[in-house]
Amino acid sequence: MSLNTFGARGSLEVAGRSYEIFRLEALAERFDLSALPFSLKILLENLLRNEDDVTVRAGEIEALAAWDPAAAPDREIAFAPARILMQDFTGVPCVVDLAAMRDAMAQLGGDPARVNPLVPAELVIDHSVSVDHYGSQQAFVSNVDLEYQRNTERYEFLRWGQTAFDNFKVVPPNTGICHQVNLEYLARVVFVDETSGQAYPDTLVGTDSHTPMVNGLGVLGWGVGGIEAEAAMLGQPISMLIPKVVGVRLVGELGEGATATDLVLTVTQRLRQHGVVGKFVEFYGPGVANVALANRATIGNMSPEYGSTVTMFPIDDETLRYLDFSGRPAELIGLVEAYAKEQGLWRDESSPEPHFSETLELDLSAVVPSLAGPKRPQDRVPLDEAKVMFRAALSGNLPEEALSSEGEAAALTFPASDPVAAADGMTAAGDGETDLAPPVPPAGQDRPVVRVPVQLADGTRFELDHGHVVIAAITSCTNTSNPYAMLGAGLLARNAVEKGLDVKPWVKTSLAPGSKVVSDYYDRAGLTPYLDKLRFNLVGYGCTTCIGNSGPLLPEISEAVESAGLAVCAVLSGNRNFEGRINGDVRMNYLASPPLVVAYALAGTMDIDLRSEPLGEGSDGPVYLRDIWPASAEVDAVVEEAVASEMFRSSYAEVFAGDEHWNGLDVPGGQRFAWKSGSTYVRKPPYFDDLPATPRPLSDVRGARVLALLGDSITTDHISPAGSIRKGGPSAAWLMDHGVEAPDFNSYGSRRGNHEVMIRGTFANSRLRNKLAPGTEGGVTVHLPGGEEATIYDAAMRYEAEGVPLIVLAGKEYGSGSSRDWAAKGTSLLGVRAVLAETYERIHRSNLIGMGVLPLQFNEGASVASLGLTGREIYDIVGLEDLAEDAPMPEALVVRADDREFRVRLRIDTPKEAEYYRHGGILPYVLRQLRDA
């Protein structure tokens, strides 16, 4: 119950029903709220409604209401989300932690039932289906059967969670992708608490970094690590500093041929260049009205790719149109409109422009068809430069054994042809080593050529070469939530078939929509047969290729790629293309719109200029992209004819029911989970073993060794892979020792309920380059001081036996990418006490604190190189152990590396984060709080 210091409590009458609301206008006499960005108004309402003089005080409400756009973030506030969204890769370990917390609560003498979600939590199973079967009518059924064979134990565990915990719901497999289900069904825009009769803005945090997709609907929400989401579920507010807000003013409208994907890749490039990490982004200006809600959602979805916490669009007529379009009830739509207008959350032509910390302008008419790649989403590639930029990037993406010591292609031919120039701004994107321009073939020469003959089992013969597209995937909620993009792809497929084109035989094609509605409108539009003809058959309703569940390539293709060291490509309509993420055999990954995915499947190579070279030979001669690209007017007309509100209502009518597979699972009972000692999927984690009743005193780090010395743009995929578990590594060895054969290894993501697999997979990405072990890729390091080469896991266990603490050294953008908390959990379990990096991405820094790992940051201008560090020194980190129990955390600590001494920033940014660290992490803190409640 709010203290209501400002007299904000009031009522709102809508359609004969009265709702209790907390009016922002109660502050209007003292503060100019018209100048507040839309996102901050939602936070302000959250504080007013939750004022209790403990977590939310009147002073914090006043500080937010008086927000200074130019001020540096320094005031902590507590955000209480209305609900939690999870997917299964991050959700299963969350439920594992909650089950373990119940056991720990009993050991501490408390009531296990207190470990129960107080905030509604919804988990959508979308990350487990893999593209093992494709290119046939049976692909979907076969992949679902395999999914259940592999994941029955995990799904039974989630069914137990449904019965053991209140406020916890699970959307069964093959319903859709969590963010698309959220956008199309779960999101309320205005949340109604039926118990209290309160109406307030729908807000959330999600255990997936792409949670901001729902920002396009005017819902405030962002991605957090699983451990932070668990704390929020259990009633802990989200600690944050009042953020800076970057305003992006939109003018104009998209031109002919430009898609939502082209727009979001342009936004991603611009905002990553501008610098928005840890900031809110909000769109405003006359062009907002010209951005369809599906396109707004696409932009919000890729917030983590450009680094912002959220990417908000205000509520307006387009919001209401989409709510009606997606089958929401009329009562909700009326409430959303009335509430938004009452609270100053409505945008129209007369709305005043908010004040922002920084502003940019984007002319929508300047957006051109684009891709992004080959390793980072922010590295946009204009379509008309794609061939040139591919060739410029190629030599930087060949395996090391294919390069000479000078970095040029070795033992490869360079046939003479036109010169190839590097495009401006091209970077060795995300290679974990450098941001310098990659090697470029010498002037007057073309790209290296390796023609490898391949014969498939059915007798099909062809030659593979660098740049050949071996995966073309229409995948990911980023684009499959957008009917304009999806129907554009279907129309292009129809036109290609009618022209006599076919997909190249080496391309693994797949269609994995984010909801069943997509299949419904494809069928109604009559486009499904054309997609099937091009082997873009339905493979599942889930994330698939976008998160690394691309499944294996045909063995003949995989063997050719490996034996010849080919740099082959994937083209996908996803949001991430980090190295090693999509498929272990694929070195170059490009993000593209669904229509361009189909086009590149037809071309079969990235080494093509789609504007001037034919896609292939059709029934009447060469066929160019311009011959089959559908006009925007045709796409709009098909969307109008084929997509109906009833499709959404029908698809989501029984969203929690599940199919015969789901309902046939055995459901364990009991308030506490009965752990199985022989399980290879769900095991009791060690986080609460020997947990003391009170926190241990803080201590300095002394005598530490460097486990890994890493470069720039190290992603959470590098730290904790999500894709397939490859033979030969420590995780594979553990599984085989426990009776699991290679075909049943499944993915790292599916094994996140098993810490034994995950700790062995930490830093095991096949493309990770550790500078302590130059010339190697994968989870390799050296044990010091002797320098013996070992896997990172084996070296860490040896250090643990010797009583040696560990640290990690890194460059810029450390921990970018997914929200996965296992990147921090695995780091902690390896014995890493601190990470020292040049800059951090927001979620991973928070996750490190949540697992009791110190996030340290080099001072501006300092780095491993500038300080002359080699990673072979012995390190002390000093300045914590003499702190009084109630003393604030210092802003800096001292690091000693052999005979060098320097100061670093301590990136524990809020008092609440300091409390978490003092307790050894967020979960021990919450557990002790619940025990003492």
**pLDDT tens digits along 500-558:** 999 999 999 999 999 999 999 999 999 999 999 999 999 999 999 988 889 999 999 99
Question: Is pTM, for the whole model, over 0.85?
Answer: yes
Closest listed residue to residue 449, CA positions, set 474, 437, 466, 461: 466
In angstroms, the CA 540 to CA 547 distance is 14
Residue 264 and residue 559: Cα distance in Å, rounded? Answer: 36
Dist CA 491 CA 835 (whole Å): 50
Yes or no: say if 370 and 381 are a contact pair by the CB < 8 Å rule: yes
Q: What confidence score (pLDDT) does residue 481 get?
A: 86
Per-residue model confidence as pLDDT tens digits over 851-885: 999 999 999 999 999 999 999 999 999 999 988 88
What is residue 199's DSSP assignment?
E
Give the Cα separation of 842 and 854 in Å (integer): 14
The DSSP secondary-structure symbol of 840 reads: B
For 433, other C-beta atoms within 10 Å of its C-beta total: 15
**Nearest residue to 156 via CA among 628, 623, 677, 682:** 682
CA gap 705, 783 in Å, rounded: 9
The amino acid sitting at 778 is G
Q: How far apart are CA 130 and CA 141, in angstroms?
A: 12
What pLDDT score was predicted for residue 398? 78
Find how far residue 418's CA is from the centre of its chain: 40
Bond before 785 cis per omega within 30 degrees: yes
Q: Tell me the angle at which helices 226-233 and 922-932 cross, rounded to the nearest 10 degrees.
A: 10
Residue ranges of the chain whose pLDDT lies below 70: 400-446
Cβ-based neighbour number of residue 699 at 10 Å = 11
The pLDDT of residue 267:
97
Which pLDDT value is given to residue 726?
A: 86
- Sequence-distant (6+) residues with CB within 8 A of 458 are none
Angle at 194 between CA 189 and CA 200, to 5 degrees: 35
95-114 burial string, b = 16+ CB within 10 Å, else e? bbbbbbbbbbbeebebebeb
Alpha-carbon distance of 95 to 105, in angstroms, equals 15
pLDDT value of position 578: 83
